[in-house]
Chains A and B, each alone.
Chain A
């Protein structure tokens, strides 16, 4: 069963985090990614660019609207995701607990309802 770990944490300002810390966090995420891969549970993982780089697109009002910036400005923003294929929620929670982002942010563990695999949505 697939679960998505949604990483939320406050977006740091430019230069707010020392290079040394950035390097350490990157190494921690490297170890985490390799542990997930070793366990054979990793489907995909991304860390997102800052919210300022976001563009939103909608046709909800009938006309195309392309807007600069994220959907909602929040203190704790969506910052990344890990898609895991694990047997059950307890396993997903165990991996969320080990995620480096859990040390400084909050991780939402959300079951995937259906995935597009091999040309079709899974049942």
Chain B
């Protein structure tokens, strides 16, 4: 939720999350029982915290944790067997799911987190549950941390997570990699779920960045590392990195909202900008265009400007045109109209806005960014009275105080 102040601590935390997901993916794979696997892993971590400071850190920490957690799972299975009233049949009741774990070499723990991510984004899991499930299992975030990012009570999020985890076991979702063709479609759902950690789509206000950019960044990095040759996985990692890079500049020192073209590039995180550019270059090398690469490319154009000023309008319009063709949405339609105004003037932008929003009907009327864009374009045309009315509409659909203040300032700056 927050960027740890100490970079070395952040690195250590990322490494711990890395290890958590790898071990959980292995422990849960055979039984499909995420809850028992989590409990066993938590026990193993707890024991490590207790014994490593006195006995010394083992040479292979991951192998040590895997062995302890595996033994813990076996103990549980045994005690569960003992409680049963029926006589134990050693063949029928054999702990099949543990046998496969025995063959895992603790010295070379394989990375099966892609299988785990595919489980989280499986069609049998309700779409809204996929992103929280991924944050919980792949990165080991607690229900409390995830709940904070979604602005819901911890208990509500905990219930949703438990329900989703039970569903994995009850529906028998397999921890496997599907064939090449299926993998493409299933990967798209994984990308969506990772994207879900970056932006929460409210029906009235459009996608809103939430307090969880660091989680989204970590998830996107894990996925890009697991699918280094997937241009869209790279594109998504680039998008999240480039957008997160600008987070420090979104509010001025007084907590006021600063629109993109007024942000001070000196306040952007240049390390993240570089990281995003590297992912984007890798993605473009594959010569297969996709939605996330286009969104990332748009972010990269914005990040390319130095000093106060606008990014290249012609390039922006081309990219937004391509994005709206590949993945049309209310957001892409609104953005395309705004950048078209940048190249062809506000009249063309406004006409395009009307034309592009028409198919969305009532949903467009509830979409706050479309009203803000309309107000901006009308003001550019000197139609101040209509612009003020559009700003009022945008304000009525805004729930964020700093954005509302920004829109109100723009409206009050009109001459009427």
Contacts from A to B (Cβ < 8 Å)? 17-18, 20-21, 24-25, 28, 35, 38-39, 86-88, 90-91, 93-95, 97-98, 100, 103-104
Contact A94 B156 (CB under 8 A): no
Interface-forming stretch among B33-41, B280-288, B396-404? B396-404
With a cutoff of 8 Å between Cβ atoms, the chain B residues found around residue A18 in the complex are 155
Interface size bucket, B side?
Answer: 20 to 34
Given known A-B contacts A38-B401, A97-B204, A91 and B154 have beta carbons under 8 A apart: no
**Are B392 and A24 within 8 A (Cβ)?**
no
Question: Smallest distance from the beta carbon of B403 to chain A beta carbons, Å?
Answer: 11
Complex contacts, B398 vs chain A, CB 8 Å: 39
- Chain B positions within 8 Å of A86 at CB level: 396
List chain A residues, Cβ under 8 A from B145.
none
A contact residues around B365 at 8 Å (CB): 90
Q: A90-B204, A94-B204, A97-B203 are in contact. Are A28 and B397 (CB under 8 A)?
A: no
Interchain CA distance A103-B203 in the complex, whole Å: 15
> Contact: A35 with B396, CB < 8 Å?
no
Known: A87-B392, A93-B366, A97-B202. A24 touches B155 (CB 8 A): yes
Nearest residue (CB) in A for B153 is A24
B151 in the interface (beta carbon within 8 A): yes
Of B153, B362, B401, which is within 8 A of A28 by CB? Answer: B153
**Given the complex of chains A and B, what is the CA–CA distance between A39 and B156 in angstroms?**
27
Indicate if the CB atoms of A103 and B399 lie closer than 8 Å: no
User: Given A21-B154, A38-B401, A94-B366, are A88 and B396 neighbors across the interface (CB < 8 Å)?
Assistant: yes
Known: A94-B366, A97-B202. 5 other contacts (CB 8 A): A39-B398, A86-B396, A87-B396, A103-B152, A103-B156
Bound-state CA distance A18–B152 (Å) is 15
Q: B154: nearest residue on chain A (CB-CB)?
A: A24
Select from chain B the residue with minimum beta-carbon distance to A21: B155
Query: Which chain B residues in 9-60 approach chain A with CB under 8 Å?
Result: none
Taking A38-B401, A93-B366, A94-B399 as contacts, is the C-beta distance between A87 and B393 under 8 angstroms? yes
CB contact under 8 A between A21 and B399, given known A87-B393, A90-B204, A97-B204: no
CA distance A86 to B395 in the complex (A): 10
The reply to whether B401 and A35 form a contact with Cβ atoms under 8 Å apart is yes
Contacts of A35 in B (CB 8 A): 399, 401
Which among B156, B362, B365 has the greatest number of chain A C-beta atoms within 10 A?
A: B156
Partner of B153, one of A25, A38, A90: A25
A21 to B362 alpha-carbon distance, docked (Å): 36
B205 close to chain A: CB less than 8 A: yes
> Can you name 11 A-B pairs with beta carbons within 8 Å?
A28-B153, A38-B401, A87-B393, A90-B362, A93-B366, A94-B202, A94-B203, A94-B397, A94-B399, A97-B202, A98-B399
CB distance from B406 to the nearest CB of A (A): 14
- Please give, as numbers and ranges, the residues of chain B lying within 8 Å of A97 by CB-CB distance: 202-204
Q: Are A90 and B399 in contact (CB under 8 A)?
A: no
**B151 contacts which of A28, A38, A94 (Cβ < 8 Å)?**
A28
Tell me the residues in window 45-82 of chain B with beta carbons closer than 8 Å to chain A beta carbons. none
Residues facing A in B138-167 (CB within 8 A) are: 151-156
Tell me which residues from 336 to 357 in chain B have a Cβ below 8 Å from any Cβ of chain A.
Answer: none
Q: What 3 A-B pairs are tightest by C-beta distance, nearest first?
A: A94-B204, A91-B396, A21-B155
On whether A39 and B154 interact (CB within 8 A), knowing A90-B204, A90-B366, A93-B204, the answer reads no
Question: Are B404 and A91 interface neighbours, CB within 8 A?
Answer: no
Q: B404: which A residues are within 8 A, CB to CB? A: 38-39
A17 CA to B362 CA, complexed, in Å? 39
